[in-house]
Amino acid sequence: MAHAERAALADDLAGLDDQQWGRPSLCGDWVVEEVVAHLTAAASTGRLRWLSSVLGARFDFDKHNNRRLAEHRGSTPAETLERFRAVVTSTTAAPGPTAAWLGEVVVHAQDIRRPLGLPRTPSTEAATEVARFYAGRDFTVAGRSNAEGLRLEATDGSFAAGAGPVVSGTTIALTMAMAGRAAYCDDLAGPGVPLLRDRVTARSGTRSG
């Protein structure tokens, strides 16, 4: 699923102009090109290299991410895209559950697509795997903490989790909200949305991965 989502994103990126590559994403202060370079880094950095990088950054994960991003960003957007295409089928990943690294692709793809108005969304199957993981634990994002005490129900798939005031919407909207993307709260309905929005807004500025 990660390979399929990377390939779909690469196809979307092929049509961007230079202005779009420099557009702010939903991921902190990163622009589109930086998010793509981050995805390339994530698919190129194995366990030992990741640990060495984190230690070198003294567990400052923003510094770690920015160093690896700079390493994999090209001199032009076209080169950045070429480097991303080269890792579409990579199985390299940092330590952690596979669902977390699928989440990297699913979430960051939407970090790019939504600001650009690109219509494609990840498959419901992929989004469901990530939603279940985020609802169950805090790992790269505060998914469980954002969803705590709420009943999340997907309107387009099988995902459902938790108990409490209902929050309903598409699987990808629920996933993105759990990942801390406040813009996706606009796509959700139910009495639990205000609480979810407050939590996500309070944690805004954090990145997935």
Per-residue pLDDT at 206: 47
Collapsing DSSP to helix, strand or coil, 31 comes out as strand
Q: Give tens-digit pLDDT for 100-159.
A: 999 999 999 999 999 999 999 999 999 999 999 999 999 989 999 999 999 999 999 999
81-101 average pLDDT score: 94
Tokens of 21: 């590559």
Q: Find tokens 């589109």 and name the residue.
A: 32
Q: Give tens-digit pLDDT for 19-35.
A: 999 999 999 899 999 99
* CA distance between the termini of the chain: 18
Tell me which DSSP letter residue 138 carries: -
Q: Give tens-digit pLDDT for 157-191.
A: 999 999 999 999 999 999 999 999 999 999 999 99
Residues 6+ apart with CB under 8 A from 14: 81
Res. 69: pLDDT tops 90: no
Tokens of 46: 């194995």
What does pLDDT average to over the chain? 92
Tell me how many degrees the CA angle 13-205-144 measures, rounded to the nearest 5: 95
Of 85 and 95, more confident: 85
